[in-house]
Amino acid sequence: MWTPLLISPNHPEYPSGHSTASGAAATVLAAYFGEETSLTFDSDVMLGVTRSITSFSAALDEIKDARIFAGIQFQSACDDGQATGQKVANYILDNSLQRSHGKGVGQLRR
């Protein structure tokens, strides 16, 4: 029998709002800093413990796994949420946040 790491919260499961926001954030950050940007995080709970991640897509995989292992969402909710967030971010990058002169945020990927 599988037991989740956390007690499943009483909120909508599909799509994962957390994964949607994470997918959008990772897409925008990758457009600005580059996909292969390394990240290191420390913990407020486990002092002295750090996690290193090699890319924004690796961070998305960790976020998805954490939601699933904790029993908060199923994989399809996380996959579809991340895909939705990425599509929204790509739309915004392509159509908004443009400077009136010069290179805007939406032109970073071109």
**Best CA proximity match to 17, nearest among 103, 105, 84, 69:** 84
Number of H helices, E strands in the chain: 3, 2
Task: Scan for tokens 């908004």, then name that residue.
Answer: 96
Looking at the DSSP bridge assignments, the partners of residue 39 are 53
Any domain includes 7: no
pLDDT of residue 106: 53
Any domain includes 53: yes
Any domain includes 90: yes
List pLDDT tens digits, range 14-70: 999 999 999 999 999 999 999 999 999 898 888 999 989 999 999 999 999 999 988
pLDDT of residue 89: 96
Give the number of domains in the chain.
1
Any domain includes 61: yes
Any domain includes 109: no
Cα(14)–Cα(58) distance, integer angstroms: 22
pLDDT at position 83 over 80: yes
Any domain includes 72: yes
54: containing domain: 17-96
Predicted TM-score of the model (pTM): 0.79
Any domain includes 106: no
Any domain includes 12: no
